[in-house]
Amino acid sequence: MRKGRLIKIVAYLFLAGLVLRFITGVHIPAVVVILLLLVVLLFNGSKKKTGKKEEALPNLTKTKEEHYANLGMTDQEINFFRDTMNTTKKQIVQLQENMNASTKLRAVDLRNDTLRVSKALFKELVKEPKKLHLANHFLYTHLPNLVDLTSKYLEIDDHEIKNKQTYEKLEESAQIIDQVSKLIKKDYEQFVADDLEDLDIEISVAKNSLKRDNSSNERNDEF
């Protein structure tokens, strides 16, 4: 509660006490006024707490439950993963809103595929939750920082009056946003690097198999 509002409440209670004393002729002790003030403060505090509800996680589908079970994940691991992904999803949604709110930020997004890469990495994590630790930089540093940076950029860009210092700060922020966007792209490339290596191995095996088959066919054609 703001200080000004608190002073108003005290003043209203004091006036109410004077009015009641004038009407009834009964003196209302200061302790009663203080008690009334405490009741108002407690009511206001409880109202704020009850009004601020935490968003619950989406229901766990049977398919996903089986998917996690097949991976050998414990209930604690599943809850931690789902909490993390729920937070990440909200951050990506906020980042998309921020990027689309400014021409400069849209240009950064187009140059680095920031949103597309972020969503792609999110999908990869959903498929392979046991690899969550491989995306630590993306989840806990790069993505949250980018959301904060773009939010602050929009806040400054929305200033009615801008001076030279404001434009310099906006340009500096845009450069940092561009650099962090490049880091997110690197996060994705590192995350899927193992898959690319596996594919290279499979391609090599397939090529060798084709060579052997072709050699065998050539020998069989001899007479």
d(CA 187, CA 170): 26
Given a contact cutoff of 8 angstroms between Cβ atoms, the answer to whether 129 and 69 are in contact is: no
Whether residue 81 has pLDDT greater than 80 = yes
User: Per-residue confidence at 59, pLDDT binned at 50, 70, 90?
Assistant: confident
Please tell me the predicted confidence (pLDDT) of residue 115.
97
User: Per-residue confidence at 165, pLDDT binned at 50, 70, 90?
Assistant: very high
Least confident of 74-78, 144-148, 204-208: 204-208
**Per-residue buried b or exposed e for 49-87, using 16+ beta carbons within 10 Å of the residue's own CB:** eeeeeeeeeeeeeeeeeeebeeeebeeeebeebbebbee
Whether residue 145 has pLDDT greater than 80 = yes
Please tell me the predicted confidence (pLDDT) of residue 58.
80
Please tell me the predicted confidence (pLDDT) of residue 47.
47
Whether residue 151 has pLDDT greater than 90 = yes
3-state SS, the chain, equals: CCHHHHHHHHHHHHHHHHHHHHHHCCCCCHHHHHHHHHHHHHHHHHHHHHHCCCCCCCCCCHHHHHHHHHCCCCHHHHHHHHHHHHHHHHHHHHHHHHHHCCHHHHHHHHHHCHHHHHHHHHHHHHHCHHHHHHHHHHHHHHHHHHHHHHHHHHHHHCCCCCCHHHHHHHHHHHHHHHHHHHHHHHHHHHHCHHHHHHHHHHHHHHHHHHHHHHHHHHHHCCC
d(CA 167, CA 172): 9
pTM over 0.75: no
Least confident of 51-60, 66-75, 192-201: 192-201
Please tell me the predicted confidence (pLDDT) of residue 218.
58
Whether residue 205 has pLDDT greater than 50 = no
Whether residue 141 has pLDDT greater than 70 = yes
Please tell me the predicted confidence (pLDDT) of residue 60.
87
Instruction: Read off the pLDDT of each residue in 54-64 and give the average, rounded to a whole number.
Output: 79
